[in-house]
Amino acid sequence: MTTMIPTLGTFGWSELATSDLAAAKSFYTGLFGWELYDDSMGEGMGTYTLIGGKTDHFGGMYEMSGPQFEGVPPNWTNHVGVEDCDAAVRRVTELGGRVLMPPMDIPGTGRFSIVTDPGGATFALFQSATDKDTGVPCGETVGAFCWRELHTKDTAEAEAFYTRLLGWTAVTKEMAFGAYTSFVQGDHPVAGMTPMTAEQGEAPPHWMTYVSVDDCDASAAKAKALGGTICVPPTDFPEVGRFAMLNDPAGAAFSIIKLALHR
């Protein structure tokens, strides 16, 4: 079995928490052709569905059940690799973030915690139980998660937080649509950041999950036919590709992108 383990300081696992697991499975398999494998989370804890099947999985999904999920909307959470989960959680609070779920062990896999940055964007910290790196390189596999992007109301605050927490370097460039920040580890871009606009209304700061597709327009149309919603229609991102922002039938937000390297 091969699990996509986050390399230190990079994202390597995305997880859907949904109000309707059966509907989510139907939607995402129809949209991306994902192979899914159901695994028990333990007695009385329900089912965890691995994306990628029983082997070579790179993400997961589960149905939210219980009072701890009251008021929590369906969402995608992205996991970033850290060397010491407990130490990273302490650093999160020192830097103004919050802990939503304290460090917890996943037997045989690692230790994780769900936290927020100072602006409220949620993400997870993951400490692997192995030094094995099996991550899929960004953008090289159609149907895989290829990019994570922070949408935030205070880019300066977020830049200070993530560079201090994860050792990232922030590189900001003026693009045709405005300023865009790439978070870089060494010479490798690992995530992006963009300021939130008035068009996003009352949406809270969040991390957006991107999936690579071979035809953005066709995939957006297919998502709508499967019961999803198109929030941002297919749009060209100069020198990068063509993307669309979607909601699945339960309301979880994600994006698709036809990367320029896949022309």
Task: Write down the pLDDT at residue 183.
Answer: 97
Q: What percentage of the chain's residues is helix, strand, coil (to nearest 5)?
A: 20, 45, 35
Are 153 and 159 in contact, with CB atoms under 8 Å apart? no
Query: What are the pLDDT digits (tens) for 163-208?
Result: 999 999 999 998 777 789 999 998 889 999 999 987 777 889 999 9
- Segment 125-154, tens digit of pLDDT: 999 887 654 444 445 588 999 999 999 999
Specify the long-range contacts of residues 199-204, CB closer than 8 Å, at least 24 apart: 200/151, 203/151, 204/120, 204/121
Residue 85, φ and ψ in degrees, nearest 5:
-60, -45
Residue 206, token pair as written in the block: 């969040």
Q: What's the confidence (pLDDT) of residue 175?
A: 77
| More reliable by pLDDT, 45 or 210 | 210
Is 254 a residue whose pLDDT tops 90? yes
The yes-or-no verdict on residue 2 having pLDDT over 50 is: no
Q: Which domains does the chain have, with CATH numbers?
A: 11-128 (3.10.180.10), 145-262 (3.10.180.10)
**What residue type is assigned to position 103 of the chain?**
P
Which one-letter amino acid corresponds to residue 187?
Answer: D
What distances in angstroms separate CA 117 from CA 45, 127, 150, 153, one per listed residue?
A: 28, 18, 10, 12
Distance CA 135, CA 6 (A): 6
Using alpha carbons, list the distances in angstroms from residue 24 to 32, 141, 205, 226, 251.
12, 22, 24, 10, 10
The 10 Å CB-count burial string (b at 16+, else e) for 227-253 is ebeeeeebeebeebbbbbbbbbbbebb
35 phi/psi in degrees, rounded to 5: -90, 135
| 203-215 tens-digit pLDDT | 899 999 999 999 9
- Measured CA to CA in angstroms, residue 128 lies from 93, 111, 243 at distances of 21, 7, 32
Closest listed residue to residue 192, CA positions, set 216, 204, 209: 209
* Integer Cα distance of 80 and 50 in angstroms: 18
Distance CA 66, CA 17 (A): 12
Q: What are the pLDDT digits (tens) for 49-98?
A: 999 866 678 899 999 988 888 888 999 999 999 999 999 999 999 999 99
